[in-house]
């Protein structure tokens, strides 16, 4: 079974996706693909991002989302400095009228209308979007305002990180 590494890229309230049209079915996926022999998960994520979008990025934290046992994937937060996308790699060679790939930026607010698959990808994007919003207190005011003075500081939890163990299988470890 081959593990996938996928990039969750959010820039200016937009999410980077690959729009797909395959055999008449229209949907979106996050940039990503299979981990190659001898490659680590972060390296695969960065390579796939470059191949599918033409963008290079800094691969950050592994996102804590459920793993689909049929198609296991590791989702990473990725920061990019450019937003100019272009398709390359094997997808460019495979593309045809019945099998289209189009790297695109979609508004985060309209993500539900984009048919992003699988569900774990949607969960990963929502985690990143939630983390990007300023923390708010009970009255909806940003932490650091009067709410923080009245209710104390916001609690920050760190999600577990994954590292590749023996046989290339991710192992969960507690983040420092």
Cα separation, 6 vs 49, in Å, equals 8
DSSP secondary structure string for all residues of 32-87: EEEPPTT--HHHHHHHHHHHHHS--EEEEEEP--PPPSSS-EEEEEEEES------
Residue pLDDT, tens place only, 82-101: 999 999 888 888 887 777 89
Name the pTM for this structure: 0.75
Q: What are phi and psi of 93, to 5 degrees?
A: -75, -30
Chosen CATH of 4-133 out of 3.90.79.10, 3.40.50.970, 2.60.40.10, 3.30.60.50: 3.90.79.10
Q: What's the average model confidence in pLDDT over 32-60? A: 97
> What is the structure's pLDDT at 9?
98
Residue whose C-alpha is closest to residue 11's, from 129, 116, 120, 95: 129
Residue pLDDT, tens place only, 116-140: 999 999 999 999 999 987 766 666 6
Going from N- to C-terminal start, the domains of the chain cover: 4-133
């Amino acid at each position: 079974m081959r593990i996938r590494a996928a990039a969750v890229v959010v820039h200016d309230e937009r999410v980077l996706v690959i729009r797909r049209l395959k055999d008449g079915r229209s949907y979106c996926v996050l940039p990503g693909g299979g981990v190659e022999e001898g490659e680590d998960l972060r390296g695969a994520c960065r390579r796939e991002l470059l191949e599918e979008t033409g963008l290079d990025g800094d691969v950050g934290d592994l996102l804590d989302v459920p793993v689909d046992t049929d198609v296991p994937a590791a989702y990473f937060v990725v920061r990019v400095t450019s937003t100019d996308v272009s398709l390359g790699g094997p997808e460019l060679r495979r593309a045809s009228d019945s099998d289209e790939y189009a790297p695109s930026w979609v508004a985060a607010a309209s993500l539900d209308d984009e048919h992003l698959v699988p569900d774990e990808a949607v969960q990963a994007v929502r985690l990143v979007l939630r983390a990007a919003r300023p923390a708010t207190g009970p009255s909806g005011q940003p932490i650091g305002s009067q709410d923080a003075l009245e209710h104390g500081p916001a609690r920050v939890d760190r999600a577990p990180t994954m590292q590749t163990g023996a046989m290339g299988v991710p192992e969960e470890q507690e983040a420092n």
